[in-house]
Structure 1
Amino acid sequence: MVVFGPSSPVDAAPDTSGDFAGLVDIGGRSLYLECHGQGGPTVILESGLDSRGDVWSRDNEQPAGERTMVQPGVAAFTRVCAYDRPGTIGEVNPSLDPDGPEFYPSRSDPVPQPRTTQDLVADLHALLAAAGIPGPYVLAAHSAGGLVARLYASNYPDDVVGMVLVDSTNENVWRDFRQNLTPAQYARFEASNLDHSELEAAYPEAEELFTAPLPDSPSVVQVREARAAAPLRPMPLVVLAHGIPFSAPFPGWPTAKMEAIMRDAQKDLTTVVPNAHLVVATESGHNIHQDQPQLVIDAIAQVVAAVRQR
C-alpha cells in the first residue's frame, strides 16, 4: 500500500516526478493540487459535484489504512494528480471522525458561482499548464466531473489519450427523466436537485454547476454541443456504472424506470469512442470510488496499460 504523508500548501511548481501537495497560481488565484507517483501517462482525477480532490485518497467509509484508495493505488503504477475545484468540500463521516468539522472547505481560492463546465475546463487547463504537468493525460472522472473530462478532451484532443468515467453524468439524462415523469414529478425532482440553500447557508462559496431547467443548463448544453461538433478521438475508455439503485427522492418515485434510464445513459457513454467497455459495480452506489476503490484502480490500470501498448 502507498501511504501519503502530510504536506503544507505552498505556492510552487510541482516536481513532475516527485510528491507534491500545494497551491498553484493560475493567474491571480490559486488551485490546490496534489500529485504522486512516477511514469506516464499522467492520470488526472476529476471529482464529482461539490467534492474536493481528496475524495480519491481519503476513505470516508472505513478507518484510514484498511483499504487502498484510488489516488494512492494509481500512484503505484503511474503519475496521478487530483485537485480541488473552487467551492468543493471534503465530507466528514462522524462515525470515523466524531470530533471533526461539519465539512472541510475547498483548499482552492473561491470564485463567483454558479459556473459552467467550460469554466471548469478552463481552470483545469490553466492548472496543468501552470504546474507544468506534462501530457498526455488519462482523465478519470466521477459524476458531473465526467462532463468536465469529456469537454476537456473535445477542446484539447491532442492532450487526452484515455478515460475512465465513474458513474458519470450523461448530458441527456435529465432530458430523459423529464420525458418519463409526470410534470409534477419532474418539477419536484428538479426543485430538490437545485435547492442548495442548506449547503449555501453553511458554505456561501459552495460550488454550483447546474441551473434550471436542468436538461438545458449551460453546463450540459456545452457538452452536448461539443459531442456533436468535436467528437472524441478514439482512445481506451472504461465506463463504470453503479449497481445499487439510488434512493428514491420522494414517495411514488418510479425507481425501476429511472434506474433503467440511468443504465441506458451509461451505455450511451460507451458510444463516444469505439470499443469502450461498460462495467457494472454491483456492490456500489453512485460513489464507486468510495464503495469499490479497487474496481476504479483496476479500470484506470487497464486504460493506462492500453495507452502504453499503443
Structure 2
Amino acid sequence: MNRLKQLFTRRRRYDELSETIQSVFFGVILLAVTTLRAQTPSSEPTPLGKMVDLGDYRIHLYCTGNGKQTVVLSPGGGGFSFDWDLVQQQVQTFARVCSYDRAGYAWSDPGPQPLTFRQEAHELELALKLSGEKGPYILVGHSLGGLVAETFAEGYPDETAGMVLVDAPGPDDTLGYFGKLVRVRTLAHRTIPPIQTMKTSPPIPISDAEREQAMKYKSHKINPPYDRLPPEIQKLQLWAQILPPRVALSEKEDYIPEEFQLLYEIQQFGHPLGGKPLITMIGMQGAGKEKIEEKKAFQTLSTNSKVAEVQDAGHEIHLQDPDAVVSAIHDVMNAALHHARLKQ
C-alpha cells in the first residue's frame, strides 16, 4: 500500500515568490473569478443549501435530515445535486444526507483546474468539514461520482464508513471521453497532478467561440428519466443544464487520463476498503453480460461487499428506482453502525 499512499500524500513544491509578485498574481486571479461569476445568469434560482467558501470560490452543499450517520451523495458526470432529490427526500427521514454541485456546475463557482477526482474529493471533504458535518460518511456515487467516492475513501479512510456505487464504471468498463468511446483501463498512465488552489491553478475563462459551440449541444427540455423528478426540481434541472459553460474544457482540463491510474492501482492492491461495507448496484436494463461482470469486479474493493442487480432500471438507478438506492444505503448504514456483515 506504500505506493498508493504516496499518491495521496505527494504535494507539489512551489517556487518561492516575493510578496509583491504574489499580490499582483492573486489580484489577477480574483479578477478572473469575478468575471466568471458575472457570466452566471441574473435569474439564478436560490440555492437549496449553503454556499461554502473554499478560498475564493464556493461550493454548493445541500444537507438535510438528522441521524447517527451522514450520507454523502456524489452526482454522475455532468450531473447536479438535485439529481438525487428522489433519494435525498427519503434518506433524510432516517439520516443526515448531503448532496453537492462540483466546481463549475449549477450554483458552484468554477474552481482550480484540472478538476480531477482527487481535486473533487478534496473539495468535498473540505466543504463538509467547513460546514460542520461529521464523518465517517456513507459515500454514495452515481457513475463517475462513484469514482469520486472511491477516491475520497482512499484519500480519507478515517472519514469513510461505507460505500454504495450506483452503476459506476469499472477499470474494464467503457465510457464516453471527448467524443470517443474508450475503455477506462486504457486511460490509466502517467502521474496524477497534485491538489490545486486558486493561487496555483485558477480556472481558464472559456472563449466566446468555445461557449457558442458548447451551447449547440445543450438540451432545452427535460428528457427521461429526469421527468420523474418533482416539477420544482425539473425547473432547476432545466436551468442548470442550459447554463453556458464558464470554464474552458479540454482533455487537459477535464477528468484527465492520469486520474484513472489510481483506480487501476486500487484494484491491484485488493480490498483497499478493508471490511467496510460496500454495495455495488448494477442497472440491468440494456446491460450486457460483459458490463455486468465488469461492475461485479468492484467487489474486490472490500471484504464485506455484495452486488445488487436492479432489474427495472438502466444507468440512472437513482431516478428510475430510487427505492432500491435508498434500501442499499440503509443496508450499508446498518452494517457500518453495527460492524456487521452485509446480508447476501
Tell me, yes or no, whether TM beats 0.5.
yes
Query: Could you tell me which of 60, 72, 76 is aligned with 2:93?
Result: 76
Partner of 1:136: 136
Partner of 1:219: 259
For residues 218-261 of structure 1, give each alpha carbon's deviation from its aligned partner in whole angstroms, at most 9, with x where no partner exists. Answer: 22112223444682222111111011116xxxxxxxxxxxx222
The RMSD of aligned alpha carbons is: 3.1
Partner of 2:314: 285
Partner of 1:171: 171
Cα separation, partners in 2 of 1:188 and 1:239, compared to 1, 3 Å: closer
The 5-angstrom pairing of residues 1-310 of structure 1 reads 8-9=46-47, 21-57=49-85, 69-88=86-105, 106-111=106-111, 114-174=114-174, 189-190=181-182, 198=214, 203-205=244-246, 217-228=257-268, 231-245=272-286, 259-310=288-339
Output the amino acid matched with 1:125: E
SS for the counterpart of 1:284 is coil
CA distance in 2, matches of 1:111, 1:133: 22
Unpaired runs of 5+ residues, structure 2, are: 1-44, 184-210, 219-243, 340-344
CA distance in 1, matches of 2:168, 2:252: 18
Output the amino acid matched with 1:189: L
* Equivalent pair of 2:267/2:300 in contact (CA under 8 Å): no
Displacement after TM superposition at 1:51 (Å)? 0.4
CA distance in 1, matches of 2:293, 2:116: 25
CA distance in 2, matches of 1:236, 1:219: 24
Cα separation, partners in 2 of 1:74 and 1:286, compared to 1, 3 Å: same
What percent identity do the matched residue pairs reach? 31
Unpaired runs of 5+ residues, structure 1, are: 1-6, 10-19, 58-68, 89-105, 178-186, 247-258
Output the amino acid matched with 1:218: E
Cα separation, partners in 2 of 1:112 and 1:155, compared to 1, 3 Å: closer
Output the amino acid matched with 1:40: K
Instruction: Give TM-score, length-normalised by structure 1.
Output: 0.69
Partner of 1:14: none
Displacement after TM superposition at 1:282 (Å)? 0.7
Which protein shows a greater Rg? 2
CA distance in 2, matches of 1:157, 1:130: 18
CA distance in 2, matches of 1:77, 1:207: 41
Output the amino acid matched with 2:100: Y
CA distance in 1, matches of 2:65, 2:313: 27
Aligned residues: 239
* Equivalent pair of 1:45/1:83 in contact (CA under 8 Å): yes
* Equivalent pair of 1:200/1:206 in contact (CA under 8 Å): no
Displacement after TM superposition at 1:200 (Å)? 7.9
CA distance in 2, matches of 1:111, 1:37: 28
SS for the counterpart of 2:313 is coil
Displacement after TM superposition at 1:125 (Å)? 1.5
